[in-house]
Structure 1
Amino acid sequence: MVCVALLSNPKSTGNRQTLPRVRSYCASNPDIFHYEVEHVDQIGRALQTIARVDPAVIVINGGDGTVQAALTELYQGEHFHGRVPPIAVLPNGKTNLIALDLGIHGDPIKALARIVEIAKAGVGDHVVARELIALSDGQVGSRPVLGMFLGGAGLADYILYCRNQIYPLGLSNGLSHFLTALAVLASVMFGLRARFLPPSTRPVRISLIREGQLVGRFSVLIVTTLERLLLGSRPGESQRGNMKLMAVDQTGPALLRLFWASLFRRMGKGKMQGIHLEQGDTIRIEGDRSSVILDGELFQAAEGRPIVLRSTEPVPFLRLAA
C-alpha cells in the first residue's frame, strides 16, 4: 500500500515556485504516489485513480479552489466507498487556514516529509475529525459545494478588493493584507468613499435555524468548521451545531472592540456590543447580491435565492501534532 497520495495543481500560485522541489522529492521517494491535475474538473478522475492505490493519507497541494474541489469530490464522490483516508493540506495559496488548523505550516517539503513519516509509523494518534460546510441554494437535489471557511458581508468585499485591486500590484502577501486593512479602516472608521477604497457593504439577513436572526450591515462575517475562528475566538460550548459564526457590525466601535479583544485574547470571554458569536447546524444567508467566499471561491445570494449552509458528518484529517 502506498503511504501517501499527493494531489497537486501546478497552476496554483504557490506551486509556481515550489512544485519543482515537490516533484523532485516525490521522484526519489517510493512511498508517495504523485498525481497532478491542471484543472479542478480533473479532480474526480484523479481521486478515482488514487483510490486504486489505497493510500494511508491523501495530501492536497494546491490553492483554495483545488482544496475545495477535492474536499467536495472526496465527500460526495464515493471513490473510497465510505472509507476516506485522513486528509492533509500542504501550506499553499494565499491563506492556508486549513493547513494552519492542522498544524501544517512552513516549508511544504518539510511538511510532506513529516506526513510521510507519520503515515509509515501509523496515523492513529494524528487523526482528527472535522465537519465540512455544505453550501447550496437549499433546493432539493442541488449538489452542494463543500469547504471549511466562509467569509461574507464586508469580509467578502474586502477579500475581493484585495484580490482585484491590491494583489495585481505584485506586493508580498503580508504587505498586500496590511494595505487592505488600512483601506478597510479608512472606509469603515472614517466613512471615506473613493474608487480606490473598498465598497460599502450591503444589508444581509443571517438566520440560524432554532437560534434566531441577525439583520444589518456587517464588516465581518465568518462561518467555519475549523477548530478556531480567526482571531482565536470560540463560541460557547453550550450552543448547538458544528458551524461557528462570527458577525461584526459595520461600525467603528465594533471594529475597535474586535481589535482589542483579539489583541488581548478576550474573544469569546463575554458578550461585546456589535460582535455576535453563534453556532449552528443550518445557517441561511439572504440579501440582494450579497457575496460570500467559501475557501477562496465566490458565491452570491440574491432576493429569493438564499445561500444555505449545513454541516456535514465528520471527515478525517491528519494533524501533525499528536
Structure 2
Amino acid sequence: MARVALLSNPRSTGNRSLLPRVRSFCARNRDIFHYEVESVDQIGTALATIARVEPRVLVINGGDGTVQAALTELYHGGHFEGAPPPIAVLPNGKTNLIAHDLGAFGDPLVALERVLTLARSEDLSDHIVSRELISLSEGNGAARPVLGMFLGGAGLADTILYCRHKLYPWLPNGIAHGVALLLGLVSILIGRAPAFLPPRPEPLKVSVLKSGELQGRFAFLMVTTLQKLLFRGNMPGEGTRAGVMQLLVIERNLWALLSALSAAVRGRLGRGTLRGVHLESGDEIRIEGDHSNVILDGELFEALADRPIVLKPTAPVPFLKLAA
C-alpha cells in the first residue's frame, strides 16, 4: 500500500518548472506512487490505477482545470470502494483557492513533504476535514454534473477571463490579480468600459431556493463551499447548515464593491448590512442570463435564459488539511 498517491498533470503551467523537482522527490521517497497524465481525459484511468495501490492520501498536482476534473471523476467514477482517501491539493494553480483553504501555501514541494509526513503518521484524523462540492449542471440534464468548490460569475468572471487572456502572459500571478482588480474598479467607475478594460457584465437573474431572486448587472458573483478566501478572509456563515453553498453578490456600484472589499479584508463581511451587497446560503442556486460567463474552478460555462446554470451541494468529501 502506498502512503501517498500523487496525480500530476505535466501540461499545467506551474508544472513546467516544478515537475523535475517533483520527480526527484518521488524517486527519493518510495512510499509515493506518482502518476502523470498528459490530458484531463486520462484522469479516470489514472484514478482507477491509483485505487489499486490503496493510498492513505491522494494528492492533486496541477492547475485549476486538473483539480476540477479530478474532483469530478473522483466523485462520479466510483473508483474507490467506499469513501475515497482524503484529498490534498498542492498550491500550483493560478489562484490556489482550494489549496489555501486546506492550509497549503508557498512552495508546492514543501506542501508535498508535509503531506508525506502526515501520511506516515499513525493517525490522520486530526487533519481530515469535510467539504461539500458544488455540483454544476446546465439545466438540460444531458451531461453529468461538473464538480468544483469555487464559482465566479458576472463581472468577476469577465475580470478573471480578462486576467487570463490579457495579463497572465505578461505579468506574475500576484501582480496580474492586483492589476485586474484595479482595472475592474476603473471599469465600474467610468461605466461603459473601453476595449482595453474588462467588459461590462451581462444582465443576470440569480435565484436561491426558498430565498427569492436578484436581477441586474452585477460587479461580483461568487458561490463557494470553501471557508478561506482571498485576502485571508473567511466566508460569512461558515460552519452553518442552513445551506452549505455560500452566495455573495455585489451590485455594479463602486461604493458597494469597495465596502465589501474593506469588510472582507477586516474579516467583517457578513456581520452587518452593506448597501448593494447580498449574502445568501442555500441548497440550490440557479443562474440565468444572456450568454453570461460563469467559471467553476477554472472551467468556463455559459448561463442562458432558457438553459440556466443549476448549482447543488454534494455529500461531504474528505480532504487533508495541512495546517494544525
Alignment partner of 1:171: what SS? coil
Contact map agreement 2:3 2:55 (CA 8 A) in 1:
yes
Partner of 2:250 in structure 1? 248
Partner of 1:199 in structure 2? 199
Q: How many angstroms apart in 2 are the aligned matches of 1:236 and 1:71?
A: 24
Partner of 1:312 in structure 2? 314
Contact map agreement 1:233 1:268 (CA 8 A) in 2:
no
Residues 277 and 287 (structure 1 numbering): CA distance in 2 closer, same or farther, change over 3 Å?
same
**Percent of paired sites with the same residue:** 62
1:103-142 correspondence runs (5 A): 103-121=103-121, 122-140=123-141, 142=143
Q: Deviations over 1:150-183 (max 9, x none)?
A: 0001100000011111122x21112211221221
Partner of 1:273 in structure 2? 275
The alpha-carbon deviation at position 189 of structure 1 amounts to 1.6
Partner of 2:80 in structure 1? 80
Partner of 1:62 in structure 2? 62
Tell me, yes or no, if structure 1 residue 227 matches structure 2 residue 220. no
Counterpart residue type for residue 140 of structure 2: Q
Q: How many angstroms apart in 1 are the aligned matches of 2:104 and 2:149?
A: 16
Partner of 1:144 in structure 2? 145
Partner of 1:189 in structure 2? 189
The alpha-carbon deviation at position 82 of structure 1 amounts to 2.7
Contact map agreement 1:229 1:244 (CA 8 A) in 2:
no
Q: How many angstroms apart in 2 are the aligned matches of 1:179 and 1:215?
A: 28
Contact map agreement 1:207 1:284 (CA 8 A) in 2:
yes
Alignment partner of 2:50: what SS? helix
Q: How many angstroms apart in 2 are the aligned matches of 1:58 and 1:32?
A: 10
Q: How many angstroms apart in 2 are the aligned matches of 1:255 and 1:7?
A: 38
Partner of 1:321 in structure 2? 323
Aligned length: 321
Alignment partner of 1:41: what SS? helix
Counterpart residue type for residue 39 of structure 2: H
Q: How many angstroms apart in 2 are the aligned matches of 1:305 and 1:138?
A: 5
The alpha-carbon deviation at position 128 of structure 1 amounts to 0.2
Question: How well do the aligned residues superpose, as a CA RMSD in angstroms?
Answer: 1.4
Partner of 1:173 in structure 2? 173
Alignment partner of 2:42: what SS? helix
The alpha-carbon deviation at position 239 of structure 1 amounts to 6.8
Q: How many angstroms apart in 1 are the aligned matches of 2:228 and 2:27?
A: 36
The alpha-carbon deviation at position 263 of structure 1 amounts to 3.3
Unpaired stretches in structure 1, ≥5 consecutive residues: none
Residues 111 and 229 (structure 1 numbering): CA distance in 2 closer, same or farther, change over 3 Å?
closer
Q: How many angstroms apart in 2 are the aligned matches of 1:191 and 1:216?
A: 14
Q: How many angstroms apart in 2 are the aligned matches of 1:150 and 1:21?
A: 31
Q: Deviations over 1:37-93 (max 9, x none)?
A: 010000000000000000000000000000000000111100002320000000111
The alpha-carbon deviation at position 248 of structure 1 amounts to 0.3
Contact map agreement 2:192 2:200 (CA 8 A) in 1:
no
Partner of 2:2 in structure 1? 2
Tell me, yes or no, if structure 1 residue 217 matches structure 2 residue 217. yes
Tell me, yes or no, if structure 1 residue 299 matches structure 2 residue 289. no
Q: How many angstroms apart in 1 are the aligned matches of 2:147 and 2:262?
A: 33
TM-score normalised to structure 2 length: 0.96
Q: How many angstroms apart in 2 are the aligned matches of 1:256 and 1:113?
A: 39
Partner of 2:46 in structure 1? 46
Counterpart residue type for residue 96 of structure 1: N
Residues 300 and 236 (structure 1 numbering): CA distance in 2 closer, same or farther, change over 3 Å?
same
The alpha-carbon deviation at position 229 of structure 1 amounts to 4.7
The alpha-carbon deviation at position 227 of structure 1 amounts to 1.6
Residues 262 and 235 (structure 1 numbering): CA distance in 2 closer, same or farther, change over 3 Å?
closer
Contact map agreement 1:147 1:294 (CA 8 A) in 2:
yes
Q: How many angstroms apart in 2 are the aligned matches of 1:293 and 1:214?
A: 19
TM-score normalised to structure 1 length: 0.96
Q: How many angstroms apart in 1 are the aligned matches of 2:171 and 2:138?
A: 36
